[in-house]
Structure 1
Amino acid sequence: MSQRIPFVRALWASTSLIAAAGIGFAAPAAAQDDETAQSSEGELPTIIVTANRREESLQDVAVSADILDEQRVNLIFSGAADTTALAGAAPGLNVESSNGRVAPRFYIRGLGNTDFDLAASQPVSVILDEIVLENVTLKSFPIFDVQRVEVLRGPQGTLFGRNTPAGIVKIETVKPGFEPDVQAGLSFGSLDTASLTGAVGGAIVEDKLAFRVSTQFQRRGDWIDNGFTGEENALGGFTDFAIRGQLLWTPDERSEILAQVNFRDLDGSSTFFRANVLSPGSNELNQNYDRDTVFYDAGGGNPAEYNQFGATLNASYEYDFATLTSITSYWTSEGFSRGDIDGGNLVTGPGFIPFPSDTQDSIDLEQLTHEVRLASNGDGPLSWQVGGFIFDSDFDVTTVGFTFPPPVTVNHTNTAWAVFGQASYELTEALRVTAGLRYTDDEKDFFVRSGAPLQPVSVQDDNIDWDVSIFADVTDTTSVYARVANAFRAPTIQGRDVAFFAAPSVAQSENITSYEAGFKSEFADRKVRINGSAFYYTVEDPQFTAVGGAGNLVQLINANEGEAWGFEFDTAFQPTPNITLTLGLAYNDTQINDDSLAVGVCAQCTVLDPLNANGFALVDGNPFPNAPEWSGDFTARYGVPVGNSGEFFIFTDWIYLGETNFFLYESAEFNADSRIEGGLRIGYSGGDGQWEVALFARNITNEDNILGAVDFNNLTAFVNDPRVVGVSFGVDY
């Protein structure tokens, strides 16, 4: 690891002591009320969002956001799904991965990164309980025992820092309380799928000390045959265990402290690539495709094993005029995944693989963060907050080709610091203006630890992010807003190609400027909620990744410009106290603007773009990769009271992702038609919700959807999980 780590730890220790002197002891604003306020019968609940680092009603915030509550999150993951199951759960959000249950890639409003390497940088941040999970492996940490998941669309650079130009997926877990709380859930499903969740908490010392321990265990048996070896049920299984422990101390009425520890142990499978399941000139799955069978002559069983650990200390003290908060966190991620990247030995179909594509990538990572901020209290017209932030990560990535070349280990370090501030002023009772600034200094260093004689590479940049918004109440139930925001993604170094005799590539900073206007409204005595927004943004020097080709390389590039426009609608309806409906819709039109940018293509593809003299595709005017124009979601819940304390219920949810291009260039093969998947839960709850038994199904129509492809000189793709049907039982006391 880098020799800078002890220095940074010392710096953090100093700033932590300074903060502690003003705080005493504290817990964050996180240990507060549930995300939905109590509402009258027949009304939609108030949705709470923390886009401004404080709890506010979604209807009072100048941001386009969709909130997934605890019930929706539990439904999404009921079939032992991983983080990629969030794809389409909020309009404008896409999530995919070619690394199995680790290293998910997030996209909001079409902006993301297709880089499959463990050192990849993304323009969407994942925030878990106010801690940025920067590395792609940390972003896969299981989502369980949560209050809500907030999807914040558009640049969030002022309060949340660099690498947020597209938006944020913000996860708020359930915090300790002083009332006894016991929850447990158990489910069994097809494909030998099982899931166990549990949480217990309450007071240790009344009104002074409380705890909460929550856990999730997911497993699936092997269900994929290997047609090359003749083994049945040889691949596809996994076990994924995670646990979280929390301790809350409130020594007095003004101060709190929350300590949190997270741990994960994954023993599973990497992505299953399927060779030549596409035919030349077509994006339809062909006769080579069988979801239950692969033909692997390599890959060692496609294993993936990871351990992750995180510890956080979140403290605050409430002065008369402001609240001082200090948040310090340390995370590690260690593991590997191995795969038969070319999809195995299936001779039917085109494509020549120039070398055996059995490769393994592993990571050994440490991440440290520390933040101190001061936020105003009181009900006056002016509210404000100021703060500082330090980030440091250090990790090794090792790439092994099992037949060639020799193993190569590279080291990446990233140090960043920032100061920020935001102020909001009520010009009148109906009109509010908010503005924020953040200065960030970001530095990355790269060197080859072993396996190749290359010189170190360093990049550095600093930037001022800013945003300005105006929010106006038109009536008691309708508001409008406008927002202009600027954010940047720091320069990036990608060194995976060192293992394949190529130099590392570098992308300079990208900078986004976004314009957004929207409205928030509730009608019919709060039985109808309709929120909408329209946006336009430009990205200067957008960072893209050219992947694959004959060498299966990863090359960072900058385009001259990217631009996009679109809109989002998030609606909820409660026509009767027993029926709740939600409907979301988003449109994203993205475009690369660079008349000289050319990228390599697959030799077996039907390329639709013009080619230059070197046979590279000119991608000017193409959409961003993995950016469907249309996306949407729908949920419906119907409950029928039974007796004095029971309820029969039906809950269904559906997602839609429109036509999607997988790479920078366009071809007839490497794109997907529209994708639709649905889930269903039918059950009975009794004892005023204290217990529940239900039947559930995920991907209920058993759709075969292509999620991505491997641009590796053959027509290889990977697909979604099959239908999982099961039964569950839960208790909540």
Structure 2
Amino acid sequence: MTQHIHAAYRPALPFRLSPIAATLAGIALLASAPLHAADPTVSELQAEIARLKQIIAAQNPASAAPAAPPAAPAPASASAAEPAQEESQTLGEVTVRSRNRLERLQDVPLSVSVVTGKELDRLQATDIKSLTQRAANVSWNQGNQRTASLSIRGVGKQGQTEAQDPSVGLIVDGVNYAYNALSSSYDFTDVDAVEVTRGPQGTLLGKNTSVGVVNVTTRRPAFTPDASYSLTIGQQDTVLGRFAAGGPIVDGLLAYRASLSVSKGEGDIKNAYNKDITYTNKDRVSGRLQFLLTPDPSFSARIALDAQPRGGETYNGRTINTPTPAKYANGTDTNLSTDVSTRLARRWFTQQSGYSYQDDFLYGGGRNVVNNDNQRPLVTGSNGASAELNWYLGTHNITSITAYKDYHFNATNDEGTPFDVHRNAGGFWNDYRQVSQELRLSSAPGGFVDYQTGIFLMKVDNQADYRREWGNDAGAWYANRDQYNRLDANAAGRYLLQNSLDRLQMSFNSPAGVQDIRNKSAAIFAQANWHLSEPLTLTTGIRATHENRKNKGHSLVNNYGNAAELNPVSVNGVQFGGFSSDSLGQLRAGNSAAQLGVADAAANKYFGAPAGAVPGSAYAGLTDAQKRQVADAKAIRLSQVGVVFNDTEAAPFKDTLPAFVLSPSYKFSKDLTGYASWQYGEKAGISQLTNGVSNLVRKEKTNAFETGLKSALFERQLLINANLFLMNIKDYQQAVRVLDVYTTGLNNDGQNYFTTATGNVPKVQAKGLEVDGAYNGIKNVTLRFAGAYTDAKYKEFKNSAQPVENGFTGAAPYRDVSGEQLPGASKVTLNLGADYRVPVWGNKEFHASFNTAYNSRYNSDNTLSSYGWIGASSITDLAIGLGTRSQSFDVSLLVKNAFGNDAPLTRTWNTYTPAVPRWLGVVVSGKL
């Protein structure tokens, strides 16, 4: 992605390192690199260290007060007295690791944004959403830890099935995370840098991605001892603790780095049913331990272990309800037969005088609360291990990264009331595991051509179970009007109403109750930089990835609850053990003696009918009204059971996916580079079941074109990078409207039925302008800015699901949204950050920082509902503090959402997710 600094621009080395010193210096530089595991040659490390030292010496006389630019990290061997020097490098010297080499950001022939760990630390930006608020044209799409997602250039919000690859890849310390949920549940602490690369990736390393990559690099082990801490006390009983330490175990041979992060705190919305549950609380503990082994100058090994014990955070249910609109989009009256207002008006629920639709369900009860009896925090946890081995062979380097990562997710949700409608309104239970192996060979830079090539292997196993359980109020909730009136008429009917669903448990079809997902990926890749002349370089790359993806699933009842006698005989060939009767409750011909025995048991249980000598006689003795009540209870149960099917293997996806890059760049001067690029990538298709029927999703294909300039002006005080981009995506993977083969075949009435499932949109396009820059020409001030104009739309999409407001009678099963803006895509995004630092009182330093992220309006609803629009808004975080210039001690006041942005995070036609309000805290930090 980036380009190595041409030899003509490298300063001559004023000294020569011994082999051992070079190795140690190389390891130190590895520890400071903003991106992937390093694999530079010893000579490259020598040159880079020498260059950085020359810059520091030139820019920072001992008597000068250091400014605070935002960028390049210092060598890890810097002493504790050097942090101010670390930040004094000129903007044009920012280095990145996008192509596994230390390279100037200004030499990178692609759209890349870099955010340093220091910038994140100043404003306690530790979650993935905070990270993305500091880079251009990257957004975080609201959801829970499993469903939230990253977007780049407006693309990536749609689509989240367990078997689907994320559109935007995430790499942490050289390890690819192939599951979207792995980005959501962590505090990224002790971070060295975050780098965002836009466009298809894969010809250099790791797993291929179709839209872009977010790379997170943590601080690496080094042989210089250091330790740092941070303690934050804030509103909502918040306590955030961070600690990191590292140094030599055996000097020159073995070093370590350890970090620990603890985040505890309440959310801003309370659950009135259980006030100890708040939305969205913090409950995260994570630790990372790394060892660095350097037995000789030609080899290094880094072993890393990480763990996040399971903790619970309540993301789902942070929802404020509003009245359902009275009219559909065509002006006809809304069908309120299943609306909450209708259900809560039933006698069954009005008996509880302390809760009502108007006073409690709507608008958070006027108290910004929710009332959920069975809501539970979402439980997540993860463990990981990796071994990174580097061999430095003079003219070539070899890097091996072997990694394991797992993830657990467990959701127990509520329907949104204090009634026992659901013990679990639906929630995934996931156990995810991935194993990967990467092996890369890199040539030394310089000469006519330098190149990298390698292989990447990954195996994924994901066991998913979407669970649902009903409670004793569920029958009264889900019965239609006539069913409810007949059953609520007497004690026997109310007993049937209660038992119709009470304690029924299922692996529920959403999209399949249980999924056994098995993915294997194997790739070979190569990329070369052809130095055609001193200023002109042509980058070429190619990749071939073979994907083998399988998925087996079923949807079945796991527990019949309190009323197995109300089961149907069978559904879709799955036996339920009930008896056969018509809609009026009359026994059908053909019931076996055992089935008639079940009917008699029902008659005895609910109406006290004594069993007779002839099977079925007790049930036959019921009145027609009583039989109709039994039929109503059975119908309620059958309607909620929905789609069931035995173990079914979906059609596998097997294919070889190509990718390539072609990118010429021309260095007009040391501080001005122009480039163009053509990137092509593919994302694997999806092996899946839709209502028990195989529904194979085609692979997604992305062509990305880009041209840009990278400049450092006014003696490198102003850095501006700008590019124009165009991305054309074919067969974009997201939710679409498809033929429901299951229901069409089950009803067999000559009509076609449709459902919403993950599928392919024929054509999507994103185009626009991106600008990224920084300025440090004002004394003691550093400014960073980024912005983008993006036009992301459906070029062709004729089978989108209808939004809720189109639910009127006679509406088509789908609609054409060709030409419409993608959901979650703002046309304008801006980011502005500033850091002010000035020496006071001798060795003290006063500092103030802020970061503002702005986005224009976007539609938060995947069906592009007219009710889903979120207006333009901005959010600002700021900090002000005083500390020692050596950073041994600092105290700061931190304010999140300082100006109280109250734009909802999501909105539908009768709900919204409110903004996270202003939060204040005090941060004490330092180095030991």
TM-score, normalization by structure 1: 0.87
Of 57, 60, 69, the residue aligned with 2:116 is 69
Give 1:335 shift: 2.6
Q: Provide closer, same or farther for how the CA distance between residues 369 and 66 of structure 1 changes in structure 2, counting only shifts above 3 A.
A: same
Of 413, 419, 425, the residue aligned with 2:518 is 413
Give 1:615 shift: 4.3
Considering fraction of residues, name the structure with more strand: 1
2:381 equivalent to 1:307? yes
Q: Describe how 1:216-231 pairs up with structure 2 within 5 A.
A: 216-221=261-266, 223-227=268-272, 229=273, 231=275
Give 1:316 shift: 0.9
Maintained 8 Å contact 2:206/2:438: no
- Matched-pair identity in %: 24
- Tell me the equivalent position of 1:8: none
Maintained 8 Å contact 2:523/2:545: yes
Q: Provide closer, same or farther for how the CA distance between residues 294 and 376 of structure 1 changes in structure 2, counting only shifts above 3 A.
A: same
Give 1:88 shift: 3.1
- Tell me the equivalent position of 2:154: 110
2:713 equivalent to 1:523? yes
- Tell me the equivalent position of 1:59: 106
2:444 equivalent to 1:444? no
- Tell me the equivalent position of 1:213: 258
2:642 equivalent to 1:596? no
- Tell me the equivalent position of 1:6: none
Q: Provide closer, same or farther for how the CA distance between residues 160 and 256 of structure 1 changes in structure 2, counting only shifts above 3 A.
A: closer
SS at match of 2:120: helix
- Tell me the equivalent position of 1:192: 237
Q: In structure 1, what residue type is equivalent to 2:784?
A: T
Q: Hey, what's the Cα distance between the residues in 2 that align with 1:598 and 1:372?
A: 42
Q: Hey, what's the Cα distance between the residues in 1 that align with 2:879 and 2:722?
A: 29
Q: Describe how 1:157-172 pairs up with structure 2 within 5 A.
A: 157-160=202-205, 163-172=208-217
SS at match of 1:617: coil
Maintained 8 Å contact 2:517/2:550: yes
Of 274, 294, 303, the residue aligned with 1:259 is 303
Q: Hey, what's the Cα distance between the residues in 2 that align with 1:279 and 1:640?
A: 55
Q: Provide closer, same or farther for how the CA distance between residues 560 and 476 of structure 1 changes in structure 2, counting only shifts above 3 A.
A: same
Q: Describe how 1:44-193 pairs up with structure 2 within 5 A.
A: 44-45=90-91, 46-77=93-124, 82-99=127-144, 101-140=145-184, 141-160=186-205, 163-193=208-238
Maintained 8 Å contact 2:204/2:452: no
2:370 equivalent to 1:295? yes
Q: Hey, what's the Cα distance between the residues in 1 that align with 2:29 and 2:757?
A: 40
Of 669, 682, 688, the residue aligned with 1:475 is 669
Of 749, 764, 769, the residue aligned with 1:562 is 764
1:554-587 CA deviation, whole Å, 9 max, x = no partner?
Answer: 6112111111210100110112340001111011
Q: Hey, what's the Cα distance between the residues in 1 that align with 2:848 and 2:554?
A: 56
Q: Hey, what's the Cα distance between the residues in 2 that align with 1:594 and 1:327?
A: 41
Maintained 8 Å contact 1:98/1:116: no
2:684 equivalent to 1:490? yes
SS at match of 2:119: helix
Q: In structure 1, what residue type is equivalent to 2:265?
A: R
Q: Hey, what's the Cα distance between the residues in 2 that align with 1:291 and 1:237?
A: 21
Q: Hey, what's the Cα distance between the residues in 1 that align with 2:817 and 2:287?
A: 45
Maintained 8 Å contact 1:127/1:168: yes
Maintained 8 Å contact 2:463/2:514: yes
- Tell me the equivalent position of 2:896: 698
Maintained 8 Å contact 1:120/1:494: no
- Tell me the equivalent position of 1:31: 30
Maintained 8 Å contact 1:389/1:419: yes
Give 1:231 shift: 4.6
Q: Provide closer, same or farther for how the CA distance between residues 279 and 258 of structure 1 changes in structure 2, counting only shifts above 3 A.
A: same
Maintained 8 Å contact 1:272/1:302: no
Maintained 8 Å contact 1:113/1:121: no
Which consecutive unaligned segments of at least 5 residues does structure 1 have? Answer: 1-26, 347-353
SS at match of 2:532: strand
Give 1:627 shift: 1.4
Q: Hey, what's the Cα distance between the residues in 2 that align with 1:652 and 1:61?
A: 28
Q: Provide closer, same or farther for how the CA distance between residues 729 and 76 of structure 1 changes in structure 2, counting only shifts above 3 A.
A: closer
Of 456, 465, 469, the residue aligned with 1:402 is 469
Q: Hey, what's the Cα distance between the residues in 1 that align with 2:898 and 2:307?
A: 32
Q: Provide closer, same or farther for how the CA distance between residues 182 and 553 of structure 1 changes in structure 2, counting only shifts above 3 A.
A: farther
Q: Hey, what's the Cα distance between the residues in 1 that align with 2:162 and 2:142?
A: 11
Q: Hey, what's the Cα distance between the residues in 1 that align with 2:907 and 2:166?
A: 19
Q: Hey, what's the Cα distance between the residues in 2 that align with 1:291 and 1:721?
A: 17
Q: Hey, what's the Cα distance between the residues in 2 that align with 1:339 and 1:87?
A: 28
Q: Provide closer, same or farther for how the CA distance between residues 358 and 664 of structure 1 changes in structure 2, counting only shifts above 3 A.
A: closer
Which consecutive unaligned segments of at least 5 residues does structure 2 have? Answer: 1-25, 35-47, 61-66, 68-88, 329-360, 471-503, 508-512, 557-644, 739-752
Give 1:129 shift: 0.9
Give 1:662 shift: 2.4
Q: Describe how 1:349-360 pairs up with structure 2 within 5 A.
A: 358-360=425-427
Q: Provide closer, same or farther for how the CA distance between residues 56 and 703 of structure 1 changes in structure 2, counting only shifts above 3 A.
A: same
- Tell me the equivalent position of 2:405: 331
Give 1:293 shift: 2.8
Give 1:113 shift: 3.6
2:852 equivalent to 1:654? yes
Q: Provide closer, same or farther for how the CA distance between residues 605 and 688 of structure 1 changes in structure 2, counting only shifts above 3 A.
A: farther
Q: Provide closer, same or farther for how the CA distance between residues 595 and 604 of structure 1 changes in structure 2, counting only shifts above 3 A.
A: closer
Q: Hey, what's the Cα distance between the residues in 2 that align with 1:446 and 1:149?
A: 34
SS at match of 1:576: coil
2:319 equivalent to 1:274? yes
Of 407, 429, 437, the residue aligned with 1:362 is 429
- Tell me the equivalent position of 2:611: none
CA-atom RMSD in angstroms: 3.0
- Tell me the equivalent position of 1:423: 528
Give 1:675 shift: 2.5
Q: In structure 1, what residue type is equivalent to 2:455?
A: G
Considering fraction of residues, name the structure with more helix: 2
SS at match of 1:468: strand
2:828 equivalent to 1:630? yes
- Tell me the equivalent position of 1:385: 452
Maintained 8 Å contact 1:163/1:490: no
Q: Hey, what's the Cα distance between the residues in 2 that align with 1:456 and 1:640?
A: 65
Q: Which has the larger radius of gyration?
A: 2
Q: Hey, what's the Cα distance between the residues in 2 that align with 1:164 and 1:242?
A: 27
Q: In structure 1, what residue type is equivalent to 2:391?
A: Y
